[in-house]
């Protein structure tokens, strides 16, 4: 089977690009299932039930998040009803929602999806993602050999470490959070596809999807600035992973599309 993973979706422009490109990408690459990280889909920070419905209507099957999952205050009350959305798995179990699940794909196939939060350089109270991965992957492998990890982390070393740690136990470990696509896509020796960061679905004339000037002001003066989202000149980054029946990856390919 083939799985399309879309990088961090930023704001209205990112959601519009998913709606525009996703059906064609699924057909062009022969994909069976689509996962998208959408933790920045609501105005550039967090997500809402309306954003979730829009992405699902566009053809996304499962949605992952990260450290910004609760930035929209009302979302904590909305998430328990949104079964296709995953918050990070390695946070307090008192937080609403779930961090991993098995989803049905066309043809009777099943896909395990896990959302993990890194700890290096991250201002979060997450538990050890490696310990969480051990527990979760063992459970998911009893249901399906096809499992994909969204490793939402800042440090490339932590993402690579997770990929190497899970090599042969999951189909893919794909990184999110930094919004910059990396050219290190590969398949590790025991059959796990890996990429440090898939990139983002957001403005290419921006700084990580935000308008340039406020970010420059913060860097050059050290003074607070409100980071606004640029919803123009949108670029979509994604990755297609080809997975064999035994769950081992057989191919990984980066995807790029520019909105006209």
Alpha-carbon distance of 33 to 61, in angstroms, equals: 6
Q: What are phi and psi of 150, to 5 degrees?
A: -95, 110
Alpha-carbon distance of 9 to 228, in angstroms, equals: 15
Tokens of 207: 């700084």
249 bridge partner residues: 243
Alpha-carbon distance of 260 to 243, in angstroms, equals: 32
Count Cα neighbours of 230 within 13 Å in the Cβ-side half-sphere: 19
Q: Which of 61, 68, 152, 179 is catalytic?
A: 68
CB 26 within 8 A of CB 6: no
Has 61 been annotated as catalytic? no
4 bridge partner residues: 34, 240
CB 101 within 8 A of CB 65: no
> Going by C-beta distance under 8 Å and a sequence separation of 6 or more, which residues neighbour residue 153?
116, 117, 118, 119, 120, 122, 129, 159, 162, 175, 177
- The full 3-state SS of 21-83, as one line of letters, equals HHHHHHHHHCCCEEEEECCECCCCCCCCHHHHHHHHHHCCCEEECCCCCCCCCCHHHHHHHCC
Q: Mind telling me the catalytic residues?
A: 68
């Amino acid at each position: 089977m083939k799985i399309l993973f879309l990088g961090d979706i930023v704001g209205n422009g990112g959601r519009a690009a998913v709606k525009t490109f996703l059906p064609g990408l699924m057909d062009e690459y022969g994909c069976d299932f689509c996962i998208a990280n959408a933790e920045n889909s609501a105005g550039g920070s967090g997500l809402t039930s309306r954003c979730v419905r829009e992405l699902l209507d566009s053809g996304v099957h499962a949605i992952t998040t990260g450290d910004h999952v609760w930035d929209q205050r009302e979302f904590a009350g909305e998430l328990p009803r949104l079964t296709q959305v995953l918050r990070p798995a390695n946070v307090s179990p008192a937080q609403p929602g779930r961090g991993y699940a098995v989803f049905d794909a066309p043809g009777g196939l099943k896909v395990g999806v896990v959302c993990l939060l890194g700890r290096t350089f991250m201002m979060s109270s997450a538990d050890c993602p490696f310990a969480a991965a051990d527990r979760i992957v063992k459970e998911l492998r009893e249901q399906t050999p096809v499992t994909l990890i969204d490793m939402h982390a800042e440090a490339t070393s932590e993402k690579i470490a997770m990929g190497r740690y899970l090599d042969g136990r999951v189909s893919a470990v794909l990184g999110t959070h930094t919004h910059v696509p990396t050219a290190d896509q590969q398949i590790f020796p025991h059959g796990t596809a890996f990429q440090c960061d898939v990139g983002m679905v957001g403005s290419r004339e921006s700084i990580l999807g935000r308008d340039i000037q406020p970010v420059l002001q913060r860097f050059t003066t050290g003074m607070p600035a409100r980071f606004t989202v640029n919803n123009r000149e949108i670029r979509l980054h994604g990755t297609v992973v080809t997975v064999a029946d035994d769950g081992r990856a057989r191919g990984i390919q980066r995807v790029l599309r520019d909105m006209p």
